[in-house]
Amino acid sequence: MLRLASHFKAEAAVLQAAAIETWPDLAALTDGDLRRLASSGRASEQRLIKLRGQARLVVQVGLEPEEAALLLYAGIATTQGLAEASHHQLLVQLGRLERSLTGMAPPRVDGITLQRWIRQARQAAARPPN
């Protein structure tokens, strides 16, 4: 089931109306599909593009939706982008982002987790497309 953050309410309604109910369904949408969904005026095409990026990180890399969302807000929008990311630079970016969102709470993403994500993205990027 596709669970989106509450600030994507309009996009969630449009996706549900189009029977797009899973992360793989969303990841498979083309630019034309997103444009068509946004043409109703109820959802933003840019926000749908972000959601598709999140879905592709979930499906292709195996991340949890919250992890993929965090990467999106840190500037990583594709599997290839994560595969090519600098471990150290991304760790710093994620740390800053998490501190801005949660204050001084301990970071949820540590170096080992980030290395695993990058390794998974590299493996996914090396696979031939379906």
The pair of structure tokens assigned to 55 is 């879905």
What's the pTM? 0.86
Give the single-character DSSP code of 107. Answer: P
Cα 59 to Cα 22: distance, rounded to the nearest angstrom: 10
Nearest to 11 by CA among 26, 1, 24: 26
Tell me if 34 sits within 8 A of 11, measured CB to CB: no
Across the range 50-75, mean pLDDT stands at 93
Nearest to 49 by CA among 65, 66, 29: 29
**Exposed, middle or buried, 32 (CB in 10 Å: 0-12/13-18/19+)?**
exposed
Percentage of the chain with pLDDT > 70? 94
Cα 14 to Cα 119: distance, rounded to the nearest angstrom: 34
Q: Does residue 48 register a pLDDT over 60?
A: yes
Q: Does residue 43 register a pLDDT over 80?
A: yes
Q: Does residue 6 register a pLDDT over 80?
A: yes
Which residues, in sequence order, are CB contacts of 50 under 8 Å at separation 6+? 72, 77
Cα 87 to Cα 12: distance, rounded to the nearest angstrom: 32
User: What's the pLDDT at 104?
Assistant: 66
